[in-house]
Structure 1
Amino acid sequence: MKLVKHIANLGYGSRKDVQWMFREGRITDAAGEVLYADDPLDHDNVRVDGEPLDLPPGLLLMLNKPVGYTCSMKDPGRIVYDLLPPRFRLRSPTLSTVGRLDRETSGLLLFTDDGQLLHRIISPKSKLPKVYLATLADDLRGDDAAIFASGTLMLDNETTPLLPAELEVIDACHARLTLHEGRYHQVRRMFAAVGNHVEALHRERIGGLGLDDLPEGQWRALDAPHQQALFAPA
């Protein structure tokens, strides 16, 4: 791949924009020597305005999503892409969220520009466990865990029962719920089905991957060991 196209695909601008960057001497190697548009591509050795290039295609990253942000690029309000470097919106292949968290749900959100990896993560066949911490409006009934684990619970307007899910009671109004599928607003609808209401919801883990010490609103690129952890549930 030509150097101009590679830099443009990372979101630094159109190919015409990148051509001008070369003419202005803004693209150099790690030693500060000016590069030219027809130079060989060596991603790790390229600098733009003295800074290393953004991560190459094949990117997987996680974000500790705060409440109040949506996963849609079309939302007129705050979106999760506002928390990433601006160039990330312009990358090709597109950097997409892996599934979604609604505006009022916080926690672990994954992004990738690798279509095969995205489909592997969200595929029903993967059954990757997703762990949520729920704060409830009312006290748990006492039989909630048995109902969620039964594999017979039906949600409104659906014809297929939910897969068994594990509920860990923390206290009367707080519980940790582990799902093995991903239906629309599933956690909120499950608690609604047993007469309760979720006041706050936070996703803690996907597969064997957790947020660890990642601060709210911050993101982190995931390397190969992290990807292996994702598919190796704890």
Structure 2
Amino acid sequence: MRLDKFICKSTELTRTEAKKVLKNGEVRVNGDVAKNAAMQVHENNTITIGGQALTARGSRYYILHKVVDSICSNVDEVYPSVLNFLEVDKAFDLHIAGRLDADTTGLVLITDDGRWSHNVISPKKQCQKTYRVWLRHEIPDENLVDLIAKFEQGLQLQGEDSLTRPAHLKRVATAELVDDECYKSEVLLTITEGKYHQVKRMFAAVGNRVVGLHREQIGEIMLGDLAPGEWRELTVEEIALFL
């Protein structure tokens, strides 16, 4: 963990205030004065401010049902950050483990445990993520088996050197009339990686277009009946899944 983050997690100081005490030489790590805010520290380090030993508070873990037109960022931009929905102290000291686009809804995991979130998003962990996808064009019955096979074999995305990892596609509903000109199919897609706009690009690679995207599950953690904008703490069992 960064030293300035450790200080914030151990005191009531803001990140700016933490950097100030560091600059003033008030912080010691294992007896040595430390001024580098980005210095990496660990649980077995002895960290003091003015001679007083610091102990970091326990990590926090939340699940949130992201609404459309919100962003997975620690700052508000054109759209508000999803962290605004969390009614907890120092919400903006947390970070999002696995981001979603502004127009995508569904399951978001939020924490201040960097190692835990790494286990969620690292491609090496191959954590499964399931999305409900609404498509502009119908998937005809005669094309379904072939399309499922293509997703299992991996798709070549524009600008990528390698194929996508095997993905599981399941059609949920046949075409539904949306308006006078737009039809769509509803599918579930499970992937184990998180390339830029990956789901949208995968369907573009097979000649379709995503018109709605909703994440339902990450690993064994499911969104369940959380309403849009609602959140809760993860259970001990859910947290343990990525420790």
Normalised to the residue count of structure 1, the TM-score between the two structures is 0.72
Give per-residue Cα distances to partners, 1:128-181, cap 9 Å, x unaligned. Answer: 100000011110242321110113x11000001111100011122000000011
Q: CA deviation at 1:223?
A: 2.7
Q: Which residue of 1 aligns with 2:156?
A: 154
Q: Which residue of 2 aligns with 1:212?
A: 224
C-alpha spacing 1:129/1:42, structure 2 compared with 1 (3 Å): closer
Q: Which residue of 1 aligns with 2:102?
A: 103
Among 65, 80, 83, the alignment partner of 1:81 is: 83
- Unaligned runs of 5+ residues in structure 1 are 16-40, 44-55
CA distance in 2, matches of 1:169, 1:132: 12
- 1:96-135 matches, within 5 Å, as 96-135=95-134
Q: CA deviation at 1:88?
A: 2.8
CA distance in 1, matches of 2:228, 2:58: 25
Q: CA deviation at 1:7?
A: 5.2
CA distance in 1, matches of 2:220, 2:102: 24
Secondary structure at 2:202 match in 1? helix
CA distance in 2, matches of 1:68, 1:14: 32
CA distance in 1, matches of 2:207, 2:137: 9
Q: CA deviation at 1:87?
A: 3.3
Normalised to the residue count of structure 2, the TM-score between the two structures is 0.69
* Contact 1:206–1:230, Cα closer than 8 Å, also in 2: no
Among 149, 171, 174, the alignment partner of 2:186 is: 174
Give per-residue Cα distances to partners, 1:114-136, cap 9 Å, x unaligned. Answer: 11111111111110100000011
CA distance in 1, matches of 2:233, 2:10: 19
Give per-residue Cα distances to partners, 1:176-210, cap 9 Å, x unaligned. Answer: 00001111111110001111111110000000110
Q: Which residue of 2 aligns with 1:28?
A: none
Cα RMSD over matched residues?
A: 2.8
CA distance in 1, matches of 2:120, 2:231: 19
* Contact 1:69–1:79, Cα closer than 8 Å, also in 2: yes
Partner amino acid, structure 1, of 2:151: F
